[in-house]
Structures are given as C-alpha cells and as structure tokens.
Homo-oligomer: A and B are copies of this chain.
Amino acid sequence: MEQQPLVEFELTVEFRARFQEALDEHDADFIRKTLQDVKPADITTLLYEFTSEESKYVMDLLDIETQAEIISDLDRDTRKRFLKVYPPSEIVNFLNQLASDDTADILNELPIKEREQVLSGLEPELKMQVTELLRYEEHVAGGLMAKELIKARYNWTVVECVNEIRKQAENVNKFYAVYVVDEQDVLLGRVALQDLIVSDAKTLVADIYEHDVVSAETYLPDTEVAEMMKKYDLESIPVVNVQGQLVGRITIDDVVDVITEQAEEGRQIMAGITENIEEDDSVWRNTRARLPWLLIGIFGGLMNAKFMGLFEAELVRITAIAFFTPLIQATGGNVGIQSSSLIVQSLANPDFVDEGLWKRLVKVFFVAILNGVFLSLLVFGANVLLFGEYRLSLVVSLALFSVVLFASFIGTITPLILNKFGFNPALAAGPFITTTNDLLGLTIYFFTVHVML
C-alpha cells in the first residue's frame, strides 16, 4: 500500500518511441522515473512492444514484487519467449513472490530440465504446494486452483478466526471468505468477511457460517467451474477432493480468463484459424495458422471441379446452369453455419434439458422448410425477371430448397456427432461445414439439373 497518485497510463505511439530511445541509450533514470507510478499490469502492456532483451533491461530496474507480478501477467507465449533470457536462479526469485497457482502455471511452461531446477529452488512451503498442484491436468478445477486460503475450524470463535487471518494474510493475496472445515479438513461451509466483521468477537464460527456453499471437485473441467461461478454469482469457489476435503480455491479472475480464452478459441475456429494467433504475431506464424483450413477449402474446391467435370455434357448443352452454382453454394454454406453454431451454442450451455435428437431435428426441419420456401420463391421470381427462363428458374429454386433442407440437417448433425465422439463441436462451425456444404450443394444442384433439364 504505497502512496501513489491516481495516474491513468496510456500507451501512445509517441511514448513508445521515446521509451525505445531510452532503451537504446540505456537511460536507466528515465525508465525508472517514468515507470515509478505505473501499475504492473500497464508495464506488462508496455513490454509487449519490446524484445525480450529490452524487456529484461526494464525489469531489472524494478523491484522484485513488481517483476513477479509482470511475469504472471504476461500471456503464455510471450512469457515462454521472455523467460528464455533468464537463468533458473532468477526465475526462482520471481516465483517465490507469486501464489501457488501462478507458480505452477509458469513451471508448466518451462522445459523439463529447467522446471526441475526451478522447483527445487523454491521456498519449502511453496514447493510443497506447487508439487501438489502439478499433479493436476491444466483444464480442471485442480489445475486452476491456488493452495493459499484461510481455513477455520467450526468450533472456533470469531476472534480465533481473526487471529488466523492475521497469521495467513501475508501469504494469501486476496480473499473474501474464510472456509470452515471439521477435524478431517472436510469442507463444511464458509463465512464471508463481511459477516465476520459485523459479528461479535465471542460468537462461534459454527453459529454464523453458511452451510449451503457450492464447491468444485478437483477433476471438474474448467469450463464447468466457469459455468458454476457464473450461475451462482460467486467471487471464489472452494475446491474439494473426493473425500470432500478442502484442497484449494479458485477466484473469479482466473475464471474470467477461462471464459475469455474459450470465447477466443471459438471465434478462431469459426474463422478457420488453427493456432491462437494475434494480428501482431510474425508473418510466418500468421501464415502457418491460416494454411490448414485454406488447404481443406482448396481440397474441397478441387473435388468440386472434378465433380462438375462429370456434368460437362450438361454444361455444354445449357451454359446458363453454371451461373447459379455460386448462389446454391453460398446459401448452403450460410445455412450450414447458422445451424451448426446454434447447436454448438446450446451444447456449450449446460442449462438446457437435452430434448433428444428427434425433437431437435423436427424443429430444424420446420425452420428449414420456412426459410427454404421463402428463399426459393424469391429466387424464382428474381430469376424469371432477370433471365426470363421459367424452366431453369424452376430447377434452380427446387435445388435451392433442397440445399437449404440438407445444409440444415448436416449443420445440425455434424456438431452433435463430433461432440458424441469427444471432439470439440465448435469445429463444425468453421470452414469444415462450409466445405462439406459446398460439395453437397453442387451435388444436389447438378442432380436436379440432370433429372429435370
């Protein structure tokens, strides 16, 4: 709690240029003075603009707590790159300042040999906590929790509780409640700090604790932890093992990160980008992240070409049928994406009762009929006006109607199948469904043409 003025830090192009200059000149005074009142999270933002070596120069001018906070703020990829310029002994110094969950995350990112070196250098208490945390997978409650928490026995008084808080307060960064346990460390409930403050010193914890607390088992997937915390509006959640013993706690800020990552991942899948990249990553990374889906699209396109080749005779006879392939394919693609993303959305929301495949399909079918009828009629009218060919217009509209129906079906069934076999159903909301529907649309269209013209 240092005395600091309320400064708003804003990163501008000018400031960055001035800072770069100071870095080039090794102007330690300027850097120290500039960063004096800036919050660690803002310094983190600033460091993204410079190389690892430059960043280390800046870091070395800061106190160790600030350095540690910046390290834990950095995004994973930057941190991996950045920590390469640090010897294990310096990494140990950072980690000794951090909470067990952040320490475990960072250790997990280090190469195995370095990880062992760093782990063995940690302070005994932290080392024990982190060793336990490293046992858990990354994307479950156990991998998300911190070991630091305030524990109270149910037969304590409020004043005993406050004494425990005094003892623990320096280890535990932020806390909003004290967790109540029995002799076997089994979680019984919690006392919110606000209730502790207004209670009389001699009151028994047993008389004021909330019994109906929501807790997460260590193996609960992180997305479900997020859903629980959202649903019950929790700022922290205790984590218990299979015996019901309290083993850690998860705070909302970690869960916000889970929610954000999940959303970003979903968006990237839909956009057909396979790695978690950002616009300012290198040209090579950007290219590599885009190529896989583009290749799938190209493969689909080549199959389309080969397929159309089978109908060369028809195309030679009536060239105009080629005009409508984009219309058919675009509609199929759009309908497929719409359907699949709605299914992906409801699969991600555990609050729904699964009404079963058939009810789902019946509904999708009716929506498709409505959309299909409307669009086909419209296209029929437009085609008659634009091209004046009744027969071809009829064929196009009939094909369009079938494409809407089939694309809805494929868009609905694909994420359900992916989900059933343990794949991320969101994959179906990306270029995969578009490519499939492109081929499907073409098949339906040329089949209709073949039969009717």
Interface residues of A (CB under 8 A from B): 1-7, 11-13, 16, 37, 39, 41, 45, 48-49, 162, 165-166, 169, 174-176, 192-198, 208-215, 229-235, 251-253, 255-257, 259-260, 262-264, 266-268, 270-273, 277-280, 283-284, 286-287, 290-291, 293-295, 297-298, 300-302, 304-306, 308-309, 312, 315-316, 319-320, 322-331, 333-335, 337-338, 340-343, 345-346, 349, 351-356, 360, 363, 366-367, 370-371, 374-375, 378-379, 382-383, 386-387, 429, 431, 434-435, 438, 442
Q: How far is the CB of A417 from chain B (nearest CB, A)?
A: 16
CB-based nearest B residue for A327: B301
B291 touching A371 by the CB < 8 A rule? yes
Contacting residues, chain B, for A194 (C-beta < 8 A): 165, 169, 174-176, 193
C-alpha spacing A1/B203, complex, angstroms: 15
CB-based nearest B residue for A256: B230
C-alpha spacing A335/B298, complex, angstroms: 11
Among B319, B353, B387, point to the contact of A11 (Cβ < 8 A): B353
Count this chain's copies in the assembly. Answer: 2
B6 touching A213 by the CB < 8 A rule? yes
Given A271-B342, A272-B338, 6 more pairs with CB closer than 8 A: A13-B355, A39-B214, A174-B192, A300-B326, A300-B330, A334-B431
A166 touching B235 by the CB < 8 A rule? no
A-B contact pairs, 17 of them (CB 8 A): A5-B212, A7-B212, A11-B353, A45-B351, A196-B197, A259-B260, A267-B270, A267-B429, A287-B374, A294-B371, A295-B375, A300-B330, A315-B319, A319-B319, A325-B325, A329-B330, A334-B434
Known: A194-B169, A294-B335, A342-B277. A235 touches B176 (CB 8 A): yes
A309 touching B387 by the CB < 8 A rule? yes
C-alpha spacing A283/B166, complex, angstroms: 59
C-alpha spacing A353/B370, complex, angstroms: 47
C-alpha spacing A194/B252, complex, angstroms: 17
Contacting residues, chain B, for A343 (C-beta < 8 A): 279
Among B330, B355, B360, point to the contact of A438 (Cβ < 8 A): B330
A283 touching B363 by the CB < 8 A rule? yes
B327 touching A326 by the CB < 8 A rule? no
C-alpha spacing A308/B327, complex, angstroms: 11
B283 touching A386 by the CB < 8 A rule? no
C-alpha spacing A354/B49, complex, angstroms: 11
A304 touching B279 by the CB < 8 A rule? no
Contacting residues, chain B, for A262 (C-beta < 8 A): 263
C-alpha spacing A309/B338, complex, angstroms: 30
C-alpha spacing A354/B12, complex, angstroms: 8
A294 touching B176 by the CB < 8 A rule? no
A270 touching B270 by the CB < 8 A rule? yes
B326 touching A305 by the CB < 8 A rule? yes
Contacting residues, chain B, for A308 (C-beta < 8 A): 322-323, 326
C-alpha spacing A328/B301, complex, angstroms: 8
Known: A208-B1, A212-B6, A338-B273. A353 touches B176 (CB 8 A): no
CB-based nearest B residue for A230: B256
Contacting residues, chain B, for A438 (C-beta < 8 A): 326, 330
C-alpha spacing A213/B16, complex, angstroms: 25
B366 touching A283 by the CB < 8 A rule? yes
Q: How far is the CB of A208 from chain B (nearest CB, A)?
A: 7
What 5 pairs between A and B have smallest CB-CB spacing?
A301-B327, A263-B263, A271-B341, A322-B322, A4-B212
C-alpha spacing A370/B245, complex, angstroms: 55
CB-based nearest B residue for A329: B326
Known: A175-B194, A213-B6, A326-B325. A270 touches B341 (CB 8 A): yes
A290 touching B330 by the CB < 8 A rule? no
B320 touching A312 by the CB < 8 A rule? yes
A341 touching B267 by the CB < 8 A rule? yes
Contacting residues, chain B, for A337 (C-beta < 8 A): 270-272, 431
Known: A193-B194, A326-B329, A429-B271. A353 touches B210 (CB 8 A): no
B298 touching A327 by the CB < 8 A rule? yes
C-alpha spacing A39/B320, complex, angstroms: 63
